């Protein structure tokens, strides 16, 4: 049976994305391989070395309209799980992260949506 190995978010600037995803969200670098103008740049949770998140350059012409449409409709590109959403929201807000959706109970799940400063909306979920 297949397992999820890697997923990606498109980013406008890999260096800025790396700073946000590591310094702010707390991921750690798994791979950083130069590939000409760009890098094969992945991060993982410090608690789980499983699924990698590729910080993929948004250079393809289809990326801009796709991301713009998602952001305009308030649709997150990715979702990350957290243990305590209220505490994480408070921590990230103190670091200057802008939320487009404050923590909201949705049945058995609580979610919030943040702007990753790299062109994407990201959902945080407490299961």
Q: Of the ranges 22-26, 47-51, 92-96, which one carries the lowest mean pLDDT score?
A: 47-51
CATH number at residue 32: 3.10.180.10
- pLDDT computed for residue 47 by the predictor: 87
Residue 120 in domain: yes
- pLDDT computed for residue 31 by the predictor: 96
Q: Could you list the residue range(s) of the whole structural domain that residue 97 is in? A: 6-126
Q: Could you give the C-alpha distances from 54 to 9, 23, 106, 114, in angstroms and in order?
A: 6, 16, 28, 18
Give the model confidence (pLDDT) of 41-71 as tens digits: 999 999 877 899 999 999 999 999 999 999 9
Give the model confidence (pLDDT) of 70-85 as tens digits: 999 999 999 999 999 9
125 vs 122: CA distance, rounded Å = 10
Residue 48 in domain: yes
Neighbour order of strands in the sheet with 6-11: 6-11, 48-57, 38-45, 28-35
- pLDDT computed for residue 11 by the predictor: 97
Residue 15 in domain: yes
- For the chain, the average pLDDT equals 96
Query: Residue 58 contacts by C-beta under 8 Å, 6 or more apart in sequence?
Result: 10, 11, 12, 64, 67, 119
* Element at 4 (helix H, strand E): none
Q: Which two tokens stand for residue 4?
A: 């999820």
């Amino acid at each position: 049976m297949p397992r999820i190995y890697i997923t990606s978010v498109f980013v406008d600037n890999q260096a800025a994305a790396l700073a946000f995803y590591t310094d702010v969200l707390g991921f750690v670098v798994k791979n950083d391989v130069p590939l000409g103008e760009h890098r094969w740049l992945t991060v993982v949770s410090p608690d789980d070395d499983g699924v990698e998140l590729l910080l993929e350059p948004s250079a393809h012409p289809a990326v801009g309209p796709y991301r713009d449409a998602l952001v305009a409709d308030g649709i997150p590109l990715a979702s990350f799980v957290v243990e305590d959403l209220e505490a994480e929201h408070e921590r990230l807000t103190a670091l200057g992260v802008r939320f487009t959706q404050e923590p909201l109970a949705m049945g058995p799940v609580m979610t919030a949506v943040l702007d990753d400063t790299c062109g994407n909306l990201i959902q945080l979920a407490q299961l």
